[in-house]
Every structure is written in C-alpha cells, then in structure tokens.
C-alpha cells in the first residue's frame, strides 16, 4: 500500500514538473511582452508634425493593445496547463 502511494506521489510530482516547465516559459514570454509594452509606452516620435505624431500615437496604441491581447492568451495557456 505504501509503495503504491509512493508511486502515485512520484508520478504526480513528475507531472507537476513538466507543467512547471511549461509555466516557466509562459512566464518568460509574458515578462518579455510586458517589457515590450513599457518600451512602446515610453517611445517618442521626436520632432514631427502633428499629423505624424497622431499616426505614431495610434500605431503605438495598437501595438500595446496587441501585446495585451497576447498576454491574455498567455494567461489562458497557463490556465489550460494548471487546470487540465
């Protein structure tokens, strides 16, 4: 009985180890996207016309929104791993 319980514990531990490896990469991807969003938010167009500034701001806003969408996808992937 004890040997069976030990075997189950080891099997679960190995399974959790594999899930943790996937989570670690997802966390790294999320961190990279968070950094990218911060860099975009801090970016500047420089001395440009009002029209160019508006185009720049719009493009940066879209890029940040795309990053937030990607981060939401990472959360879903993490949830799929954590709650199979």
- The DSSP output letter for 16 is H
Query: Hey, where are the domains in the chain?
Result: 23-82
pLDDT on residue 32: 98
- How far apart (Å, rounded) are the C-alpha atoms in residues 22 and 38? 25
Q: Are 42 and 83 in contact (CB under 8 A)?
A: no
Judge whether residue 47 has pLDDT over 50: yes
- How far apart (Å, rounded) are the C-alpha atoms in residues 56 and 63? 11
User: Residue 23 — very low, low, confident or very high, per pLDDT cuts 50/70/90?
Assistant: confident
User: Residue 4 — very low, low, confident or very high, per pLDDT cuts 50/70/90?
Assistant: low
- How far apart (Å, rounded) are the C-alpha atoms in residues 44 and 27? 28
């Amino acid at each position: 009985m004890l040997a069976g319980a030990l075997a189950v514990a080891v099997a679960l531990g190995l399974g959790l180890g594999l899930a943790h490896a996937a989570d670690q990469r997802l966390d790294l991807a999320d961190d990279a996207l968070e950094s990218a969003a911060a860099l975009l938010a801090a970016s500047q167009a420089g001395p440009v016309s009002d029209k160019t500034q508006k185009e720049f701001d719009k493009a940066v806003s879209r890029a940040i929104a795309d990053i937030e969408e990607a981060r939401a996808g990472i959360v879903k992937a993490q949830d799929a791993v954590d709650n199979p």
